[in-house]
Amino acid sequence: MSIRNKLYLHSETQQKVVKIPTTILNSLSDDKTKENQQVPLKKRPASPPLHPLASTSSLSQNITPVPSPTPSKKLKRERVLVDAEKVVSACKSKYRPFFTPTIEASDDSPRASPLQEDHVLTLEYPCSGESEKFLLWKPVKMNQRQDALEDDHDEYHPVNDLYQSAFFIYDCYLTTDQQKRLGDASHGVMRNLTKYRNRRNGQAFAQAVNEFNAVVLDFKSDRQLKKLRHPTYDLACHILYQVYSRTVAHQADALNNYQAFSNYVYGEINAILVKEFIERTNITAKSVFMDLGCGIGNVVLQVAAQTACEAYGIEIMDLPCKFAKRQLREYATRMRAWCLPTGKVHFRHGDFLDTTANDMHSTMIRADVLLVNNYAFDAKTNHALAHMFLDLKEGAKIISLKSFVPKHHKINQRTVTMPESILQVKEYEYFSEAVSWTNNSGVYYISTVNRERLKPYYDALVQ
């Protein structure tokens, strides 16, 4: 919630009364002044309030104005991370302590932990002043027989998140010499993180995390951590997983409320295929990327995270667009914590076919790469999109799950004016688990705007 500063201003209709010192009154008319006389001063339009006079030269020259209250600038609330502790605490019924509590003081088994159930650990992130709190719990669910709890591998796991984050910091932000202070997989702090997590020894794990933080803080204070221009693919996926788990995961079931076999069917393109899109279309920091029908914004955020490009998403459905904007806020905060560029990211709510209403036309004509997940779109929507692509710049690329150009389309004098004729299409195969709606493999298409090949046909029409 934004902070509003209340300004208490003097009433403009209130008359100002000041006391004038004797020395000044004596310099004026003797028969019109008396010592300590109160003189009402009429308020001049647009003039500041008067202050008691401090000079004897003249009344008009020695009135020192009191600075009037000026509206203070609206304070911009600095965004902070949504802590893992907060996420888990909000749904504790789905979690249980990860580390086994100690039954007796003499219990020294490798799985024994003297930590309190609500013990919280803090992890230092690469950016100065950025850290996050983690509650050491694990997600659970009822087993198939409904008579006991078992680990839930589909829900957010705060201990694994902390553990993986520490290793990403170690791998991506420390030089080889700096890593020696933390050891490796066979010895030292990094070995202890793995060993005591696996043994469920909470006290030793907490000590390893604290030792890790001490080393990272030392490097942060001297600004010795490596600066990354872009995250690796794995680091980008980890950060986006953190973003999703703190903003959308607990309400993800609501995304399944849509009309089946309609243009509004919700489905996500998975990260591994988005990575391939980026490579095949050569998206860079200078590119403009658009996702028409962006859903909760996962693709837009991944493209921006990996390339720091200018990325736009537009979504017609209320809830997915709301989640996309929620993810964007957390994304910006987390990328700052990891000392990474965010790119320029924008989400808009509206119909991508109505370019005048949502003011996306000016962006679309600058776009280098567009993504349209048109797998479930009807023929009418795909045809309308093809007409909209006539405004794209030369060389712009369109990624789609269905081709906008009929398989046997040929350019001739009859078809040269059709919108499909400006698109040069290539087909690519994707493998299993690349999309959310099926585990099977499939194909996608990259269409490139190429009007140059139509020139001979237009020249023939002119002749």
Dihedral, CA atoms, 372, 286, 347, 168, nearest 10 degrees? 100
**Res 410: pLDDT:** 85
C-alpha 16/C-alpha 189 separation (Å) is: 71
Structure tokens at 246: 């703190």
Q: For position 315, what pLDDT does the model report?
A: 94
Going by C-alpha positions, the residue among 399, 230, 257 that lies closest to residue 323 is 257
What are φ and ψ of residue 374, in 5° steps? -95, 25
HEC profile for the chain? CCCCCCCCCCCCCCCEEEECCHHHHHCCCHHHCCCCCEEEECCCCCCCCCCCCCCCCCCCCCCCCCCCCCCCCCCCCCCCCCCHHHHHHCCHHHEEECCEECCCCCCCCCCEECCCCCCEEEEECCCCCCEEEEECEEEEEECCCCCCEEECCCCCCHHHHHHHHHHHHHHHHCCHHHHCCCCECCEHHHHHHHHHHHCCCHHHHHHHHHHHHHHHHHHHHCCCCCCCCCCCHHHHHHHHHHHHHHHCHHHHHHHHCCCCCCCCCCCCECHHHHHHHHHHHCCCCCCEEEEECCCCCHHHHHHHHHHCCEEEEEECCHHHHHHHHHHHHHHHHHHHHCCCCCCEEEEEECCCCCHHHHCCHHHHCCCCEEEECCCCCCHHHHHHHHHHHHHCCCCCEEEECCCCCCCCCCCCCCCCCCHHHHEEEEEEEECCCCECCECCCEEEEEEEECCHHHHHHHHHHHC
Measuring CA to CA, which residue among 317, 418, 337 is closest to residue 132? Answer: 337
pLDDT score for 79? 73
Specify the pLDDT at position 359. 75
The DSSP bridge partners found for residue 40 are 17
> What pTM value is reported for the model?
0.79
Name the residue type at position 135: L
Instruction: Point out the residues of the chain with pLDDT beneath 70.
Output: 1-78, 101-115, 117, 257-266, 463
Give the pLDDT confidence score for residue 59 in this predicted structure.
37
Tokens 């997590």 belong to 197
pLDDT at 30: 47
Radius of gyration of the chain from its Cα atoms, rounded to whole angstroms = 33
The CA distance from 365 to 357, in Å, is 16
Longest alpha-carbon distance in the chain: 108
**How long a stretch of residues is the chain?**
463
